[in-house]
Amino acid sequence: MCGIAGIISAKHNIGNLQEILKLQQHRGPDHTGEYVDPGYCALGHNRLSIIDLTSKANQPFRDNSGRYHLTFNGEIYNYIELRQKLQAYYNFKTTSDTEVLLAAFIVWGKSCLNHLNGMFSFAIWDSYKKKLFAARDRFGVKPLFYSEEDQEFYFSSEIKALQSILERNQPNEKVWANYFAYGSYGMPRETFYHNIQQLPGGHFLEYHDGNLKISKWYDFEERVKKSAKTLSFEDAKKVYSEILSDSISLRFRADVPIGFNISGGVDSSLLLALVNRLQNNKNIQAYTFYTGNENYDELPWVEKMIETTQNLLKKVKIRPTDVIENAQFLSDIQDEPYAGLPTLSYAALFQAAKEDGIKVLLDGQGMDEQWAGYDYYQNSGNSTTIQGMGKVNPFRVNILKKDFSELVEKPVYPTPFDNDLQNLQYRDIFYTKIPRALRFNDRISMAYSTELREPFLDYRMVEFAFAQPRKYKISNGVQKFLIRKILKEIAPKDLSYAPKRPLQTPQREWLGNELKDFTEENLEKLRFSKASGWFDFDEMQKEWKNYQNGDNQSGFHIWQWINAALLLSR
């Protein structure tokens, strides 16, 4: 896991590249490297050493001919298998997945992307053709932001790094307006800033002679439709179990210590059981957080599961003071709005892992979307739900001023499948739930120079699960049905039916009580921020009083305002 950067320009300033690398150094503190093709290109890299820890694998990485230069963020999990296929065509100098990636591009060209099983964003400079090729993994686990300005092209792993060298740096008011009105975090190419975009997951870009071309390389819809075939439930369970086991084994490839995050749900329980079953190592460190509020904490479920595996468990307690101390830091790390106390709590696990010398953590993101685990999948005709907040409206559009509210445009998502359930799953995988979670998680893990791996987002698993019939996903009101059956065979029975708990932190209670002063301080900051013209502060104060008087079934709107203050009042 690393940071990448580049400037394509006839008059690039190496000082600008160094500024970018300095601001994202937390992503890769082990080595910082630069490559310059005078008059054309400058590439940079921040390295977090995970595979092949030697200096030979430092980046930007040059091929044997000196023609191609690679800056790469992520992991190619099947690099050993790919290396075996490529060694007849390329003379390897390292044991790194970095060199395998570059060799794959040299031998297979753009089609190399279809061979890769991993999480990645990378850029390759062809010093002969003076052409840049960059790509992002299928689901967008690893980020790639870019900007075009005055015939120059910039890219990096973090928004703040680009903001430091761009002259124009204004909030994208439409994206912000949709965030307040619908909870949207933008469409795949958008960010919360006008002059910075992101390459969508499953896409590549080419930049040559001042011309930018973006193409889609991963056609999930077509792959699912072509591969869909009816299997018996037992056969489907067997096939999926094999892919799942292989995915976890691949993600244990590392030359550094590995741990994992665990909650009390089905997904984490399955991950814990399989990690111990496949790795046969009872000393793999597990991490979980709790707040001391039994209405939200999953600690009893976690401890019950750990009893059966005897893993080392570090329990990290989150207190209201942690929010006060860390909210601004994480806002600076995120660059865009984030999910509040859940993200703060999750960040504490990466901090604990770093203190323990753990450089790689696994977690269970992705099962709910591929196996229909959210409550609203039961009523799949409810295609308007974005937040999954039930019947409570988490937004307060009345606090927006008229001119600003006129920018609001309800997000419309593609519906490429012939049924509501799959269209909802598709939306959540590519537009809402997964992109949002991956964004939060990448930035907080990198804040603590720790790599996060998501074994349940192996594309083979997602495609297979997505294509299965509804009855394998939801049966007699039981969601993630097939997964629960797998877990039942390898874990205590009651854990395989652990209830889905959408809220794991007392955020709505804390905001109105323990964090009352913190909330009011940030609402006041908002009055003097870049966003001051967006809000009717009289209406906002009414809503705040209503919240304190008991209208607090959802605290998301309060956190939205705090988020805006943290990001836009500097």
Tokens of residue 173, six digits? 């008011």
Tokens of residue 285, six digits? 């460190």
CA distance 514 to 507: 10
Instruction: Judge whether 112 counts as a catalytic residue.
Output: no
3-class state of residue 140 by DSSP:
coil
Quote the distance between the C-alpha of residue 124 and its chain's center: 23
Fold agreement between 3-218 and 221-389+409-491:
no
3-class state of residue 125 by DSSP:
strand
Beta bridge partners, 8, equal 41, 153
Count the residues in the chain: 570
Using alpha carbons only, what angle is made at residue 513 by residues 511 and 517, rounded to the nearest 5 degrees? 75
Nearest partner of 57 among 89, 30, 22, 23, judged by Cα: 30
Beta bridge partners, 132, equal 125, 207
List all residues 6 or more positions away from 359 whose beta carbon is below 8 Å from its beta carbon: 48, 50, 254, 256, 257, 258, 353, 449, 450, 451
Beta bridge partners, 288, equal 315
3-class state of residue 336 by DSSP:
coil
CA distance 236 to 421: 19
Name the amino acid, one letter, at 480: K
CA distance 73 to 81: 20
> Which ranges of the chain have pLDDT less than 50?
382-385, 387-389, 496
Pairing of strands 203-208, 478-479: unpaired
For 182, 472, 485, the CA distances from 233, given in Å and listed in that order, are 38, 7, 10
Q: Tens of pLDDT along 180-199?
A: 999 999 999 999 999 999 99
**Domain boundaries in the chain?**
3-218, 221-389+409-491, 507-568
Sheet strands side by side (includes 360-362) = 312-317, 285-290, 258-261, 360-362, 451-453
pLDDT of residue 388: 45
Please give the backbone phi and psi of residue 331, each rounded to the nearest 5 degrees, phi first: -65, -40
CA distance 364 to 368: 10
Name the amino acid, one letter, at 128: Y
Name the amino acid, one letter, at 481: F
CA distance 61 to 106: 13
3-218, CATH topology level = Glutamine Phosphoribosylpyrophosphate, subunit 1, domain 1 (3.60.20)
Estimate the share of the chain in helix, then strand, then coil, as percent rounded to the nearest 5: 45, 20, 40
CA distance 82 to 113: 12
Catalytic residue among 2, 20, 119, 495: 2
- What letter does residue 29 receive in the DSSP assignment? B
Pairing of strands 131-136, 118-126: antiparallel
Domain 221-389+409-491 has CATH 3.40.50.620: yes
97 has binding-site annotation: yes
CA distance 152 to 210: 7
pLDDT of residue 383: 47
pLDDT of residue 308: 78
CA distance 78 to 9: 35
- Please, how many CA atoms are within 13 Å of residue 388, restricted to the half-sphere of its CB? 20
Q: Tens of pLDDT along 243-268?
A: 999 999 999 998 898 999 988 788 88
